């Protein structure tokens, strides 16, 4: 029996809670003998899981090395890189699948027979550009990793077209796009309620403009209600949001639900809303998983004028784009909601749910890895 080609998937994240990496594992583990490297508990259904200890923090690069621009030293002495390099010493793989820029030097160092595929979850050189210290000291190092490591990979993917264009403009390679689509959910649209039920789900961070979503409900003249399902990333801000919700009266802030239950929970609502302002390049070009969660939940969608999200909403016809990101502009969009519009949007979400599902998107990863695996020299055996 011919052995399956070997594949290493490397991500400096808690794999068990990283939805994008879990989709990679699920899409590839039946086609390849998969070794996964990352943090957290073991991932089931793979050949091997190499756990990086929690105290080997991947973002902890030597400050002096960054200031002195001794980037190669900074990279290879990083605690996560150094640990994973030792753990993988002597291993041979047909293909390595590297997630985000920090893992790519390690992936190339393994010299896989078919090559390295890189999945870029953000536009890394501008990830925290609104923070002056990060922009001054970390961004040049990230650009060095992109030009020294990432540009030398064999193939690439990223989450949206805006990011893909910027990687091509600055570093000369053009990633394919694999969106953060949700798995297909066999649901149907629910009847539109009165008042129209708005919903938002996601992380609780100040730069997500959540207060404006709530304030817009208070400003709206149309009968609408809103529920928010928020993870407690910023407990102080979460309490501020709860207080504002109580003051508005038709807004409720809930604890988060497990991701496996999220889409079914959202299905009880009418319109998913998100209007994150362009606080940095990645926020400006965001195409977040919540947009695809709303589609799988068969909801209409109201989003801010972020170009990537707006293009999806307008081209597929399942929602409306606000004029801007402040509460008054969002309230105008709430006021324009009609039962007929929302019914039509929900029907459009239902019509495109399969097309926009994760099952279609992961085929792009499968093709990329298959093409690299096929590069093995004639007669070369899978390891």
- Indicate the burial class of 311 (C-beta count within 10 angstroms; 0-12, 13-18, 19 or more): middle
- Indicate the burial class of 82 (C-beta count within 10 angstroms; 0-12, 13-18, 19 or more): middle
Judge whether 10 and 91 are in contact, CB under 8 Å: no
Q: Residue 380 pLDDT > 60, yes or no?
A: no
Q: Are residues 289 and 338 in the same domain?
A: yes
d(CA 383, CA 379): 12
What pLDDT shows up at residue 375? Answer: 87
d(CA 354, CA 154): 30
| Confidence category of residue 2, pLDDT binned at 50, 70, 90 | low
Nearest partner of 345 among 303, 284, 288, judged by Cα: 303
β strands within the chain, DSSP E: 6-14, 33-39, 48-51, 95-99, 115-120, 155-158, 176-177, 196-203, 224-231, 251-254, 271-274, 300-303, 319-321
Q: Which residues contact 340 (CB under 8 A, 6 or more apart)?
A: none
Note the pLDDT tens digit of each residue in 119-131: 999 999 999 999 9
- Residue 379 falls within a domain, yes or no? no
d(CA 44, CA 25): 10
- Residue 290 falls within a domain, yes or no? yes
Nearest partner of 79 among 60, 99, 107, 106, judged by Cα: 60
Q: Are residues 29 and 98 in the same domain?
A: yes
Judge whether 39 and 18 are in contact, CB under 8 Å: no
- 3-state DSSP assignment of residue 217: helix
Block residue for tokens 């495109």: 352
Assign residue 64 the CATH number of its domain. Answer: 3.40.50.2000
Q: Are residues 163 and 263 in the same domain?
A: no
- Residue 382 falls within a domain, yes or no? no
State pTM to two decimals. 0.92
Cis peptide before 178 (omega within 30 of 0): no
Q: Are residues 300 and 324 in the same domain?
A: yes
Report the chain's terminal Cα–Cα distance, integer Å.
13
Helix-, strand-, coil-residue percentages of the chain, each rounded to 5: 45, 20, 35
Q: Are residues 45 and 121 in the same domain?
A: yes
Q: Residue 298 pLDDT > 90, yes or no?
A: yes
d(CA 263, CA 292): 10
d(CA 298, CA 129): 35
Note the pLDDT tens digit of each residue in 45-77: 999 999 999 999 999 999 999 999 999 999 999
What pLDDT shows up at residue 382? Answer: 47
Range of the domain at 122: 6-181+358-373
d(CA 72, CA 348): 50
Q: Are residues 177 and 251 in the same domain?
A: no
Note the pLDDT tens digit of each residue in 207-248: 999 999 999 999 999 999 999 999 999 999 999 999 999 999
Q: Are residues 111 and 31 in the same domain?
A: yes
What pLDDT shows up at residue 1? Answer: 57
Residue 66 φ/ψ, nearest 5 degrees: -65, -45
Q: Are residues 112 and 253 in the same domain?
A: no
Q: Are residues 24 and 91 in the same domain?
A: yes
Arithmetic mean of pLDDT, 92-113 = 97
Tally of CA atoms within 13 A in the half-sphere of 190 that contains its CB = 17
What pLDDT shows up at residue 377? Answer: 57
What pLDDT shows up at residue 101? Answer: 98
Q: Number of folded domains in the chain?
A: 2
Kindly report which listed range (75-89, 196-210, 248-262, 369-383) carries the lowest average pLDDT score. 369-383
Q: Are residues 103 and 212 in the same domain?
A: no
Arithmetic mean of pLDDT, 314-333 = 98
- Residue 38 falls within a domain, yes or no? yes
What pLDDT shows up at residue 62? Answer: 94
- Residue 154 falls within a domain, yes or no? yes
**Tally of residues, the chain:** 383
Q: Are residues 243 and 220 in the same domain?
A: yes
**Bridge partners (DSSP) listed for residue 8:** 35, 96
- Residue 191 falls within a domain, yes or no? no
What pLDDT shows up at residue 17? Answer: 87
Tally of CA atoms within 13 A in the half-sphere of 38 that contains its CB = 26
Arithmetic mean of pLDDT, 243-260 = 95
- Residue 280 falls within a domain, yes or no? yes
Note the pLDDT tens digit of each residue in 143-187: 999 999 999 999 999 999 999 999 999 999 999 999 999 999 999
Q: How many distinct helices (H) and strands (E) make up the chain?
A: 17, 13
Nearest partner of 308 among 332, 326, 290, 296, judged by Cα: 290
């Amino acid at each position: 029996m011919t052995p399956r080609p070997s594949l290493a998937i490397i991500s400096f994240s808690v794999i068990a809670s990283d939805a994008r990496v879990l989709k990679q594992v699920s899409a590839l583990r039946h086609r390849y003998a998969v070794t996964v490297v990352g943090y957290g508990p073991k991932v089931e259904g793979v050949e091997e899981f190499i756990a990086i200890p929690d105290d080997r923090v991947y973002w902890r690069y030597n400050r002096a090395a960054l200031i002195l621009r001794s980037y190669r030293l900074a990279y290879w002495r990083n605690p996560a890189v150094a640990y994973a390099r030792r753990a993988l010493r002597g291993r041979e793989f047909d293909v390595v699948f590297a997630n985000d820029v920090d893992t790519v030097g390690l992936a190339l160092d393994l010299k896989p027979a078919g090559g390295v595929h890189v999945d870029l979850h953000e536009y890394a050189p501008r990830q925290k550009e609104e923070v002056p210290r990060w922009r001054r000291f970390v961004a040049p190092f990230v650009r060095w990793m992109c030009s020294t490591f990432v540009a030398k990979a064999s193939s690439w993917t990223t989450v949206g077209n805006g990011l893909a264009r910027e990687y091509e403009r600055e570093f000369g390679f053009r990633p394919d796009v694999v969106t953060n689509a949700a798995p297909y959910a066999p649901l149907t649209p629910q009847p539109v309620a009165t008042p129209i039920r708005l919903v938002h789900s996601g992380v609780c961070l100040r730069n997500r403009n959540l207060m404006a979503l709530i304030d817009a409900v208070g400003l709206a003249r149309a009968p609408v209600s809103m529920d928010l399902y928020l993870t407690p990333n910023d407990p102080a801000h979460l309490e501020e949001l709860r207080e504002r919700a109580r003051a508005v009266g038709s807004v409720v802030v809930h604890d988060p639900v497990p991701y496996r239950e999220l889409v079914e929970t959202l299905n009880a609502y009418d319109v998913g809303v998100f209007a994150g302002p362009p606080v940095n390049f990645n926020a400006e070009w965001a195409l977040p998983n919540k947009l695809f969660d709303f589609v799988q939940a068969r909801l209409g969608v109201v989003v801010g004028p972020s170009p990537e999200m707006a293009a999806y909403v307008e081209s597929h016809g399942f929602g409306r784009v606000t004029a801007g990101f402040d509460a008054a502009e969002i309230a105008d969009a709430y006021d324009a909601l009609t039962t007929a519009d929302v019914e039509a949007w929900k029907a459009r979400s239902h019509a495109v749910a399969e097309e926009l599902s994760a099952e279609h998107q992961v085929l792009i990863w499968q093709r990329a890895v298959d093409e690299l695996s096929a590069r093995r020299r004639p007669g070369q055996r899978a390891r």
